[in-house]
């Protein structure tokens, strides 16, 4: 009998470098306090938080998996691709993420201009809600709406003024999922489709597209995520078996920005080991006494 518990691994979390509410180092400390053996920092379209997160991980008994969550899209459908252990200096990845962040910013500005025609909110209100250099998204507009008393909280803002049906919404510029998967692999990283079954309209990609992504080096599917719908999860597990993909489970923690709790879903050690062995662009930061290396 082996009574050593499985390691506690959560591979999707956001800091204030994108739309989470804690600095990367604070996030890593919160992960250790929650008892995690490994946490991945996966800010939207940036690796700028890695050094701060690593400085905390080097003093704690946990392993930090550096990553990002790349925004891609198919028409109006947003497809998020997690990339673990990429080379943060890869020129193509740097150029693409910079372009996405610029596109996010101008899109947010256009949305705020339109919202501002009907409600008292300005671009300065939005900037005041974001850390300097942070990847701007609807969550920052939501926080500005809350600060102005126009919405009670972030989630209400997403159901209200920021909902795609509100008339203020527009998508931001983003590459295709295929390009996203290729970029991450070429940067030595391991690509995983984030919350693929989180949409009421079904899984964000169809099977022919999945085949193309697998051919381009897709590694896994994030199956255990609070927003994935159960019917879609069954399809994802079936695809994982048939196409040889690993599956992950994660919280998608955003600090106080979302109800998601660190470690609410977990990833197996086998999937962690696969990511560890395939990722060549950077290395996990193994803190003193971590159970995972």
Contacts of 250 (CB under 8 A, 6+ apart): 10, 11, 12, 13, 40, 222, 224, 225, 265, 266, 267
8-27 binders of ligand AMP (CB under 6 A): 19
User: Near Zn ion by CB under 5 A, which window of 123-131, 168-176, 249-257, 276-284?
Assistant: 249-257
- The size of the interface with ligand AMP (CB under 6 A), counted in residues, is 10
CB of 254 to ligand AMP, least distance (A): 6
The residue among 268, 223, 227, 226 whose CA lies nearest residue 241 is: 223
Identify residues 239-258 at the interface with ligand AMP (CB under 6 A): 254, 257-258
Contacts to ligand AMP from residues 124-153, by CB under 6 A: 137-139
CB of 54 to ligand AMP, least distance (A): 23
For ligand AMP, the closer CB: 189 or 257:
257
Q: Examine residue 252 and tell whether it contacts Zn ion (CB under 5 A).
A: yes
Q: Which one of ligand AMP, Fe ion, Zn ion, none is in contact with 20 (Cβ closer than 5 to 8 A by kind)?
A: none
175 binds, among ligand AMP, Fe ion, Zn ion, none (CB under 5 to 8 A by kind): none
Site for ligand AMP in 171-210 (CB under 6 A): none
43 is a contact residue toward Zn ion (CB under 5 A)? no
| Residue 56 CA from chain centroid, whole number | 20
Report the residue number, 18 or 278, with the smaller CB distance to Zn ion.
18
- CB of 127: closest distance to ligand AMP in angstroms? 15
For position 233 contacting ligand AMP by CB under 6 A, the verdict is no
Please state the separation of Cα 11 from the chain's center in Å.
Answer: 9
Which residues form the interface with Zn ion (CB under 5 A)? 69, 252
Which residues form the interface with ligand AMP (CB under 6 A)? 19, 137-139, 154-155, 158, 254, 257-258
């Amino acid at each position: 009998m082996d009574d050593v518990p499985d390691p506690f691994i959560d591979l999707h979390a956001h800091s204030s470098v994108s739309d989470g509410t804690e600095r990367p180092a604070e996030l890593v400390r919160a992960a250790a306090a929650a008892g995690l053996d490994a946490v991945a920092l996966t800010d939207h379209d940036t690796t700028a938080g890695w050094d701060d997160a690593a400085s905390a991980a080097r003093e704690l008994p946990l392993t930090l998996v550096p990553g990002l969550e790349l925004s891609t899209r198919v028409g109006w459908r947003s497809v998020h691709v997690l990339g673990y252990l990429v080379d943060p200096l890869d020129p193509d990845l740097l150029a693409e993420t910079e372009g996405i962040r610029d596109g996010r910013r101008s899109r947010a500005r256009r949305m705020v201009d339109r919202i501002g025609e009907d409600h008292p909110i300005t671009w300065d209100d939005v900037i005041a809600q974001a850390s300097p250099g942070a990847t701007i998204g609807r969550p920052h507009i939501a926080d500005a709406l809350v600060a102005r008393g126009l919405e009670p909280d972030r989630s209400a803002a997403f159901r209200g003024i920021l909902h795609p049906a509100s008339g203020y919404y527009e998508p931001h510029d983003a590459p295709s999922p295929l390009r996203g998967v290729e970029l991450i692999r070429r940067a030595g990283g391991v690509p995983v489709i984030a919350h693929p079954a989180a949409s009421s309209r079904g899984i964000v990609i169809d099977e022919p597209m999945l085949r193309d992504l697998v051919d381009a080096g897709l590694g896994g599917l994030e199956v255990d995520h609070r927003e994935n719908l159960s019917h879609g999860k069954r399809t994802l597990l079936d695809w994982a078996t048939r196409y040889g993909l690993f599956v992950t489970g994660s919280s998608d923690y955003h600090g106080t920005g979302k109800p998601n709790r660190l470690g609410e879903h977990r990833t197996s050690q086998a999937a962690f080991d696969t990511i560890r062995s395939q990722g060549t662009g950077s290395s996990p930061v193994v803190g003193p006494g971590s159970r995972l290396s």
